[in-house]
Amino acid sequence: MDEVIDPAVTIKAIGHQWYWSYEYSDYSQSDESAINFDSYMLPEEDLPEGGLRLLEVDNRVVVPVNTHIRMIITGADVLHSWAIPSLGVKCDAVPGRLNQVPVFIEREGIFYGQCSELCGANHAFMPIVVEAVPLADYISWVSHKLEEV
């Protein structure tokens, strides 16, 4: 894969049976202070009104618009694939390998995707949600997440 040169934000996505975890390591001095979270599909009874069944998650990936982002993709157990068709992004999550893909989102919004590599019995329940926000909102989100650490 092509090297992503000088990204403003680097996010690592790790596929697990059957959820995703994310690491924002740009904002930390040590592993303990990095922004890390798991992202699970919301069960139907927990969906907010208007929420998309089988697509909404408890923790979204938040990114700033008009910013060069490097997504590093890997798997923790079996093959997965981090795919968001509306962004034109699909990258295999292979255990023991770090793949990367550049992402540049030009408009605010919520973008939905799913694991696109058959990875076991609950493969259909690994949604991905990316929320693209203005830079000021992103900085506020990062500050809030760092306070949680």
The domain total for the chain is 1
What lies within 8 Å, CB to CB, of 1 at 6+ separation is 91, 99, 100, 101
Cα–Cα dist 106/87, whole Å: 10
Residue 1: inside a domain, yes or no? no
| 5: pLDDT strictly greater than 90 | no
What is the structure's pLDDT at 84?
98
Percent of the chain with pLDDT over 70: 95
Write out pLDDT tens, residues 61-74. 999 999 999 999 99
Cα–Cα dist 94/90, whole Å: 13
What is the structure's pLDDT at 89?
97
Residue 55: inside a domain, yes or no? yes
Domain extent at residue 89 = 9-148
Cα–Cα dist 12/25, whole Å: 8
What is the structure's pLDDT at 122?
87
What is the structure's pLDDT at 1?
56
Residue 111 φ then ψ, to 5°: -120, 130
| 93: pLDDT strictly greater than 60 | yes
Cα–Cα dist 11/62, whole Å: 10
Residue 133: inside a domain, yes or no? yes
Return the sign of the alpha-carbon dihedral for residues 131, 136, 142, 143.
negative
Residue 3: inside a domain, yes or no? no
pTM of the model: 0.93
Cα–Cα dist 2/99, whole Å: 10
What is the structure's pLDDT at 135?
97
Average pLDDT, the chain: 93
CATH number of the domain where residue 133 is located:
2.60.40.420
